[in-house]
């Protein structure tokens, strides 16, 4: 179906990002609710949005990637991308709405498993996300977790250029991305997504960004030192955690990218392998319910 901007009623703002705003909208005729990501574009940004759309289209049959519906033309020339509305919002807003109270371990396991399934769907299509973090993982009332925001994602064609300029959120970047030279042609963008996922999962378990003291607003240099010279995997010891969880985080946060587990391997890890049963379901529902109790 062809959509026009006037077919939709804006309900509220869901989030802001670089150069864009995401609205909750309702289709007037069908009353269906969507998320509409509007990017105020110059030519360079427009290319970026179309790259994001291209990736979303390629992943259209994925159960753990936010569903893409259409590009909606706007009178102003901005690009508007119509997406499935994820009514639980992003995991970082969920965490904040709970006053940064850590998620329960079963909830973390269920989230990690679903995010890994999303990454598996992407990686099997040669797509790297490059900006995995809690703000880009969305959840809905059914307890489904999906990957969003392919603003800096990339479809790899044959070999990867290690000098490829990327953008992403520094805080979740793997050590080799700070220092690509020392890794030469071995730079593995799939492994970089695994690092970011491990850090995001650890953040949900801890309640704050795990590599820095709570509440710190770091500069680039502090972050780089924490990531490249700190022992990320050890941050897990600061809160009581099961052996499975520790093991899982260690597999994700290996500083040497070659030692990190792949997404396929991680899906078999005991921490996540069973995290799709009734207990997981309940843990996610608790998370969503506690949230609505308090807001
Ligand atoms: P970029 O990082 O490329 O600049 P962005 O951060 O501007 O992108 P998104 O991450 O896609 O854009 O969206 C920003 C925020 O809007 C998200 O963190 C989330 O809170 C909210 N949001 C985005 N898409 C949806 C959706 N489909 N359903 C619900 N909320 C969404
Ligand atoms: Mg984002």
Quick one: which of 201, 217, 211 has its CA closest to 271?
201
- Residue 186: pLDDT band (50, 70, 90) is low
What pLDDT score was predicted for residue 34? 98
pLDDT per position as a tens digit, 28-57: 999 999 999 998 877 777 888 888 899 999
Ligand nearest to the CA of 40: 1
Task: Compute the chain's Rg from CA coordinates.
Answer: 19
Tell me if 138 CB under 6 Å of ligand 1: yes
Tell me if 93 CB under 6 Å of ligand 1: yes
pLDDT per position as a tens digit, 248-259: 999 999 999 999
**200 CA to middle of ligand 2, Å?**
13
Atom of ligand 1 nearest to the CA of 87: 29
- In the residue annotation, 188 being an active-site residue is answered as no
Q: Which of these is catalytic: 78, 92, 131, 188?
A: 131
Select the more confidently predicted residue: 106 or 238: 106
pLDDT per position as a tens digit, 242-295: 999 999 999 999 999 999 999 999 999 999 999 999 999 999 999 999 866 654
**85 CA to middle of ligand 1, Å?**
10
Tell me if 22 CB under 6 Å of ligand 1: yes
Ligand nearest to the CA of 140: 1
pLDDT per position as a tens digit, 144-164: 999 999 877 777 664 444 445
**18 CA to middle of ligand 1, Å?**
10
Please report the DSSP string for 149-186 in residue order. Answer: --TT-EE--SS--TT------GGG--HHHH-GGGGGGG
pLDDT per position as a tens digit, 78-97: 889 999 999 999 999 999 99
Identify which of 18, 46, 87, 90 to mutate to test ligand 1's pocket (most ligand atoms within 8 A of the CB). Answer: 90
Q: To the nearest whole number, what is the mean pLDDT of the chain?
A: 88
Quick one: which of 107, 114, 158, 156 has its CA closest to 132?
114
Q: Which long-range contacts (CB under 8 A, 24 or more apart) does 164-171 make?
A: 166/130, 167/131, 168/130, 168/131, 168/196, 169/131, 169/133, 170/220, 170/223, 170/224, 171/133, 171/199, 171/209, 171/211, 171/218, 171/223
What pLDDT score was predicted for residue 161? 46
Q: Whose CA is nearest to atom 6 of ligand 1?
A: 17
């Amino acid at each position: 179906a062809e959509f026009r901007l006037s077919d939709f009623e804006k309900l509220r703002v869901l989030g802001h990002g670089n150069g864009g705003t995401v609205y909750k909208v309702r289709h007037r005729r069908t009353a269906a609710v969507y998320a509409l990501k509007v990017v105020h574009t110059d030519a360079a940004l427009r290319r970026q949005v179309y790259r994001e759309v291209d990736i979303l289209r390629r992943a259209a049959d994925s159960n753990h990637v936010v569903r893409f519906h259409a590009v909606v033309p706007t009178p102003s020339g901005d690009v508007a991308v119509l997406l499935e509305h994820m009514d639980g919002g992003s995991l970082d807003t969920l965490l904040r709405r709970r006053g940064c109270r850590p998620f329960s371990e079963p909830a973390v396991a269920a989230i990690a498993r679903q995010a890994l399934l999303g990454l598996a769907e992407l990686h099997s299509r040669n797509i790297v996300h490059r900006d995995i973090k809690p703000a880009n993982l969305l959840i809905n009332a059914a307890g489904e977790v999906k990957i969003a925001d392919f603003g800096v994602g990339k479809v790899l064609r044959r070999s990867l250029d290690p000098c490829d300029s990327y953008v992403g959120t520094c805080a979740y970047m793997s050590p080799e991305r700070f220092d690509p030279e020392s890794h030469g042609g071995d730079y593995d963008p799939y492994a970089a997504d695994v690092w970011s996922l491990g850090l995001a999962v650890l953040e949900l378990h801890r309640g704050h960004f795990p590599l820095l003291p709570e509440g710190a607003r770091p500069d680039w240099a502090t972050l780089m030192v924490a990531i490249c010279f700190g022992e990320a995997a050890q941050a897990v010891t600061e809160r009581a955690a099961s052996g499975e969880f520790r093991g899982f985080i260690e597999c994700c946060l290996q500083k040497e990218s070659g030692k990190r587990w792949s997404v396929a391997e991680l899906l078999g890890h005991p921490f996540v392998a069973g995290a799709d049963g009734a207990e997981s379901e309940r843990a996610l529902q608790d998370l969503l319910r506690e949230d609505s109790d308090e807001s």
